[in-house]
A and B are shown apart, each in its own frame.
Chain A
């Protein structure tokens, strides 16, 4: 087991930065006259600021490179996690395919 606690922290912080950035982009993209974005904007911004601060503390450097590295790690972790999601998807499709086959056999016997 070679995985370190620091790697897990980087992955977690990267996920948090990606998520907060996504919701900030979402707020700006979907702004409209009936929107009240101040609270979601401030909560997502504060979470983003906290995660960036934590990244600086863990990385012990206050450069843009630290944030880029952490986000890159998180994106790569998401990509390497995709096969696990694919297992769930395959099993769901298998179940559906089997049920289609059973329906087909029932209809044929009728």
Chain B
């Protein structure tokens, strides 16, 4: 009886892992829809929901019960979590310091005003913090026992190839949809009065309201 009960618990946990992954997928897609759609507001909560489930499943009471391929996924995610977070935060700090992409604090023009060469401006400080973070993440990568690099590379490329072919199928579907619904007939050329109207509208948009009426 107890054995059956524990098996049911494990099944429920395993289903939760897939629900979490599905939530992350859906959340990402909904978030990318753009502000024109009200559904967009569901994106971020779904992402947080999925991530929270994965974190909860990794924690002690549930982590011990989880088994099977789902356990391997959670363990693999957890083993990379530290360095991925450090790498992402380091990258964001460095990008944030670049005038083109982030805050203008790191711009040389602003840095010029500092009196001392040793004075650390916010830009320099964030770049330094970013590189420390990246260095720590590289340290964790080298410290943790990674599987064979060649194996990881070959298997990773195989997965990426699979992902690419899946994307190609989708692109093929989109291309077929667009091709199938293309307008069959060419539009007739504009008449004289239509041509005058169109040129007037274009001129009005380019020159302002001066040429109007």
Contact = CB atoms under 8 A, between A and B. Distances in A.
A100 interface: yes
Contacts of A44: 166, 169-170, 173
Nearest to B157: A81
Interface of B: 14, 22, 25-26, 29-30, 32-33, 37, 39, 68-70, 72-73, 76-77, 79-80, 84, 87, 91, 94-95, 97-98, 106, 108-109, 111-112, 123, 127, 130-131, 134, 137-138, 141, 146-148, 150-167, 169-170, 172-174, 176-177, 180-181
A47 B165 CA distance: 9
A36 B176 CA distance: 10
A44 B174 CA distance: 10
Contacts of A89: 87, 91
Interface secondary structure of A, over-half rule:
helix
A72 to B, nearest CB: 3
A32 B159 contact: no
A7 B166 contact: no
Given A21-B25, A22-B25, A97-B127, A104 B174 contact: no
Contacts of A47: 165-166, 169
B141 A86 contact: yes
Contact of A29 (B33, B68, B95, B170): B33
Given A17-B166, A96-B95, 11 more contacts: A2-B151, A15-B166, A16-B165, A20-B166, A20-B169, A23-B166, A29-B29, A44-B169, A47-B165, A89-B87, A96-B94
Contacts of B73: 72, 75-76
Contact of A100 (B97, B163, B177): B97
Contacts, number: 194
Interface of A: 1-3, 7-9, 11-23, 25-26, 29-30, 32, 36-44, 46-47, 51, 65, 68-69, 71-84, 86, 89-90, 93, 96-97, 100, 103-104, 106-108
A31 to B, nearest CB: 9
21 contacts: A3-B150, A12-B159, A16-B165, A18-B166, A26-B25, A26-B29, A30-B33, A44-B169, A44-B170, A47-B165, A47-B169, A68-B14, A68-B69, A75-B76, A76-B72, A77-B155, A81-B157, A81-B160, A86-B141, A90-B134, A108-B112
Overall SS of chain B's interface: helix
A100 B127 contact: yes
A39 B173 contact: yes
Given A43-B169, A47-B166, A100-B98, A77 B159 contact: yes
A23 B69 CA distance: 23
Contacts of A20: 166, 169-170
B87 A80 contact: no
B163 A18 contact: yes
A19 B162 contact: yes
